[in-house]
Chains A and B, each alone.
Chain A
Amino acid sequence: MLLRHTTAEPKVEREALTINPSKTCQPIGAMYAALGVHRCMPHSHGSQGCCSYHRSALTRHYKEPVVAGSSSFTEGSSVFGGQANLLEAITNLFSIYHADVVAVHTTCLSETIGDDVPQIVAKAIAEGRIPAGKHVIHASTPSYAGSHITGYASMVKSMVTSFAKRTDKRLNQVNLIPGFVEPSDMAELRRIANALGAKTVMFPDTSGVLNAPQTGKYEMYPKGGATVAEMVSAGDSLGSLALGPLAAGSAARHLEVQCKVPAQVLELPIGLRATDAFVDALRNLSGTVVPEGLMEERGQVMDFITDMHQYFHGKTAALAGDPDQLLPLAQFLRDIDIEVKYAVTGTPAPKWAKQMAAICGPKAKIKEGGGADLFQLHQWIKQEKVDLIFGGTYCKYIARDEDIPLLRYGFPIYDRVGHQYFPNVGYRGALRTLERILNALLDRQDRDAAEEGFELVM
């Protein structure tokens, strides 16, 4: 047993101790979002361990280069402030690494000592440290608030406040603001929009950055990422679709206030209904017609469900991960008659918990924020088992101890690949998810069946 000290019944009511978290800290979300800007260098204003840990975590998840700078605070900078370090870093990032955009996010260290990043950036401009046509943007992401999801949201919001401009002319384009999803998901969103014939601007966009091809030639700034020009033009778009209220909502709402671009906050298009809602909203906003091809994809999802429904019906699942992903996933599981018994997210999300309860029913155990960790989830599972676990790689310790199949879902996935290439969003993503669920269940049935009950056709 790996988690041999986890017992079904709690030995104590926990109020202060987190064990095996289902979230991490804000800066990594900001770093990930910044990688979705073309020729952008994320920069961590803190001690260098933060940057090292975040780069390592993202690299393990994507199996791709993840570059980012650090202010490399020492004890001295922690006492006297990090201004000198950030100014020096800005100079170096532009002159050595030739970034077009440097996206600075803060850490618990720089926030606790009260470094004023906008003031330091103003000083950098005044001192001529930022070459003409280049930009430094900033997000406040202290690790002691929110989670990686709010850190992501904060950096995406900063893209709006730093770049989006309202001019006289309205552009026939729609802003797509994806939540914390994979590069494959972002590419799929664009493919769906293209299929609809909708012109879009998407930011951030990590496709082509964190799933870049191996060519034998390293590109520090791969082809992907939203350009500054695109983000500037977002202020003239017909409307914004924020996909995922917690990770993308804030950017869309700021854009509405700042540039009067109407915001619609949708769920991430995971599963049938949420994808329907996304396609419908995009169709209406862009004034286009849903093409035959997309209808075919939807029909295939429906076909899969109706063909194989017997294997889904009545199965039970436990979910751990990010709120924006878990809500539409839970809805999808309910739609195919899988019962969601437990769900945890370490991200503070009280509204999400209510919505989840409405979707999953009164018997489901749902927990968010403090205490909503994998230790809690494991205790619930020990009290009453489930058939499937959905979550990141850290869930594999529970999965192995309890002999329950794990469907790797969300962040982080350190031990498998595929997430960077194959989407979870859209009808294609729904089809992939259905296939993965079915295979997990049927593999289990094949493994456990009595010899006489071992089925050839399923």
Chain B
Amino acid sequence: MTPVSPESALAALTEGLPTKVARKRAKAQMVNQVAPDGTVPEIGVNARTIPGILTMRGCTYAGCRGVVLGPTRDILHIVHGPIGCSYYAWLTRRNQTRPETLADVNFMPYALSTDMQEENIVFGGEKKLRKAIEEAIAIFNPKAIGIYATCPVGLIGDDVHSVARDVEAAHPGINVFGFSCEGYKGVSQSAGHHIANNKVFTDVVGQLQGRKPGKFVLNLLGEYNIGGDSFELERIFEKCGFTMQACFSGNSVYDEFASAHTADLNVVMCHRSINYMAEMMEKKYGIPWFKVNFIGAHSTAKSLRKMAEFFNDAGLKARVEQVIAEELPSVEAERLLAYERCKGKTAMLFVGGSRAHHYQDLFGEMGMHTLSAGYEFAHRDDYEGRRVLPTIKVDADSRNIEELHVEKDADKWRELKQSALDRGMTMNDYVGMMPEMKDGALIIDDLNHHETEVLLEMFKPDIFCAGIKEKYVVQKHGVPMKQLHSYDYSGPYAGFKGAVNFYKEIDRLVNSKVWGLMQAPWQRNPEIAGRYGVE
């Protein structure tokens, strides 16, 4: 196949589209070019989805209830709205959780809803919500309750926050908080992440003391335990001697959120969904943060080393080196097997707010080349790096999402960052996806169905990564598809063991012979037709 030039592909993406659509989409499509100083072209993202475009995106409620709060097992999530919103967020994101004993709380397999009916829309639903919460308390006896507002709730003026306050007054032992995460807010799930971060920060973090024992106590932010990723990271952290005070929010419990401010460091996996929390915790409590990536064995090693460097303890550094030395050889052996079978193959990744970036490391370890990538709901800083933050224009849709004004907590603020800065460590960093991609790669934000088809036809990549809605569209094109939201019900892919799982899985997909059986023998050899006359 003759290689397709990125410029011609870019032209093909908008060819034949209505002018208005073409103009709008062109802003979100780039040929990557990294200047010597690391700057990249400006991309037009976090913009409204074009009606009728067949987007991958979901809503604010999904980002709040599903992504950020969903993985926590002992906050009772009550969805105030018609039944569907609660129904579709019910166990579908594969956030694994592991209560320590049978007596421990686990609300994850429960979907709670006020199942609003027409009369609740007409006459208001607060009464029903209040009653539903009382019933839920009687049944589940939770220590914390999250109430999630869906589209009609905001429109009819039901106030989930005042209901939360009332319930809390009646049940002083229970922390009740509401999320104004109506689906129509913002332009994607991203708004929901922000709303979730805000409320967890104001109403949960800092409520409890109880720092876990250990010298090197940190929080892991933006890791949601899809397919057991958090379990693998818990294993590695423990082996290295790090104490995970809280994970936001894979395999997490309320008490960990509430005492997260006692940690000394925040490390951030998914920048898009949780950077607000990291920023606010730094302002209020002085906890510094930096970006990590545990997708890919070498990225994992690099992140662990940076964490050890932060704490600047010789014993810890030695322990981390020892763990890496123990873990890497078997990973490396598997990597080489996969490398031999996969090198030179091509990938495309369109997912999330960080995975389209992170997983390029894993593909790179296998010798695979990323032709094109983009996020579903990211902002410019996720593409271009946080260096562009001061230049991002805040549009009306983003302005509707509250930006909390956070002040230093005089009692709880601790100086934790200076030593790291003095040693030249880079903090508060995210370089973004584009500076780490090759020149000429196609960057496309909020990829839609039409563009997916154009890419598949023009480039015929060896593998395409996105979500469930794209899964079978891609595969019906004859191209293997890997879901990077749900991992196709396998995993983990994070950390050392996860890398091995991923190498094997991608090897299976790109080298499977089954794709070669698409045509029947008579389709491959059609010219022989007719038959001899037999009496």
A interface list, Cβ under 8 A from B: 1-5, 11-12, 14-21, 23-25, 27-28, 43, 46-50, 52-57, 59-60, 63-78, 85-86, 88-93, 95-97, 107-109, 112-113, 142-145, 147, 212, 214-219, 346, 370, 375, 394, 397
Contacts and interface: CB of A to CB of B under 8 A. Distances in A.
B110 A109 contact: no
Interface of B: 17-18, 20-21, 48-62, 78, 81-88, 90-92, 102, 105-107, 109-118, 120-121, 128-129, 131-136, 138-140, 150-152, 154-156, 182-189, 396-397, 400, 449-450, 453, 467-469, 471-473, 475-478, 515, 518-519
Given A18-B115, A55-B469, A56-B88, A88 B449 contact: no
Contacts of A50: 59, 84, 183
17 contacts: A17-B133, A47-B183, A49-B61, A49-B62, A49-B183, A52-B469, A55-B469, A72-B57, A75-B184, A75-B397, A78-B182, A88-B50, A92-B18, A108-B82, A109-B152, A144-B82, A218-B473
Contacts of A145: 117-118
B21 A3 contact: no
A3 B9 CA distance: 51
Contact of B52 (A2, A28, A65, A90): A90
A96 B115 CA distance: 37
Contacts of A86: 51
A48 B60 CA distance: 9
A8 B386 CA distance: 54
Nearest to B470: A65
Contacts of B115: 18, 21, 370
Most buried by B among A2, A96, A107, A214: A96
Contacts of B61: 49
Contacts of A76: 396-397
Most buried by A among B52, B128, B129, B472: B52
A43 B133 CA distance: 34
Nearest to A144: B82
Contacts of A56: 88, 92, 467-469
B469 A91 contact: no
A442 B263 CA distance: 56
Contact of B88 (A1, A53, A78): A53
B184 A77 contact: yes
A151 to B, nearest CB: 10
Contacts of A67: 54, 449, 473
A140 B112 CA distance: 26
A219 B473 CA distance: 9
B477 A72 contact: no
Contact of A74 (B91, B187, B468, B472): B187
A27 B84 contact: yes
A14 B112 CA distance: 12
Contact of A12 (B57, B116, B135): B135
Contacts of A96: 17-18, 21, 52-53, 450
Given A12-B135, A20-B110, A96-B450, A60 B468 contact: yes
B184 A47 contact: yes
Nearest to B89: A53
A214 B114 contact: no
Given A69-B52, A96-B53, A25 B84 contact: yes
Contacts of A60: 92, 468
A17 B184 contact: no
Contacts of A212: 476
Given A15-B135, A78-B184, A21 B120 contact: no
Given A5-B110, A67-B473, A108-B150, A91 B52 contact: yes
B62 A14 contact: no
B67 to A, nearest CB: 12
Given A5-B107, A145-B118, A214-B475, A78 B48 contact: no
A76 B48 CA distance: 11
Contacts of B478: 216-217
B469 A92 contact: no
Nearest to B523: A215
A162 to B, nearest CB: 19
Given A96-B450, A108-B81, A88 B110 contact: no
Contacts of B112: 17-19
A3 B109 contact: yes
Given A96-B17, A145-B118, A3 B52 contact: no
Most buried by A among B88, B113, B475: B88
A53 to B, nearest CB: 4
Contact of A16 (B54, B128, B186): B128
Top 4 closest A-B pairs, CB basis? A49-B59, A89-B52, A25-B84, A92-B52
Contacts of B139: 5, 11-12, 17, 19
Contact of A144 (B54, B109, B133, B152): B152
Nearest to B135: A17
A109 B183 contact: yes
A215 B54 contact: no
A246 B103 CA distance: 43
A142 B84 CA distance: 11
Contacts of B450: 96-97
B113 to A, nearest CB: 5
A93 B17 CA distance: 11
A70 B471 CA distance: 19
B85 to A, nearest CB: 8
A325 B2 CA distance: 54
Contacts of B135: 12, 14-17
B285 to A, nearest CB: 32
Most buried by B among A18, A64, A76, A212: A18
Given A48-B55, A53-B62, A145-B117, A64 B152 contact: no
A92 B54 CA distance: 10
Contact of A52 (B62, B113, B400): B62
Contact of A72 (B51, B117, B132): B51
Contacts of B51: 69-72, 85-86, 88-89, 92
B162 to A, nearest CB: 17
B293 to A, nearest CB: 27
A26 B53 CA distance: 22
Given A3-B109, A78-B184, A370-B117, 17 more contacts: A1-B102, A5-B110, A18-B83, A18-B112, A49-B62, A63-B472, A67-B473, A71-B52, A72-B48, A92-B18, A95-B18, A96-B18, A109-B155, A144-B82, A216-B515, A216-B519, A217-B478
Contacts of A16: 114, 128-129, 131-132, 135
Contact of B156 (A20, A66, A112): A112
B53 A3 contact: no
A72 B156 CA distance: 20
A142 B396 CA distance: 28
A5 B142 CA distance: 11
Nearest to A414: B92
A269 B218 CA distance: 60
A14 B154 CA distance: 25
A331 B324 CA distance: 63
Contacts of B110: 3, 5, 19-20, 375
Nearest to B456: A218
A53 B468 contact: no
Contact of B83 (A25, A73, A112): A25
Contacts of A68: 54
B117 to A, nearest CB: 6
B153 to A, nearest CB: 9
A46 B151 contact: yes
A55 B449 CA distance: 13
B46 to A, nearest CB: 12
Given A14-B135, A47-B151, A394 B472 contact: no
B453 to A, nearest CB: 7
B468 A59 contact: yes
A48 B55 CA distance: 8
Contacts of A69: 51-54
A396 to B, nearest CB: 10
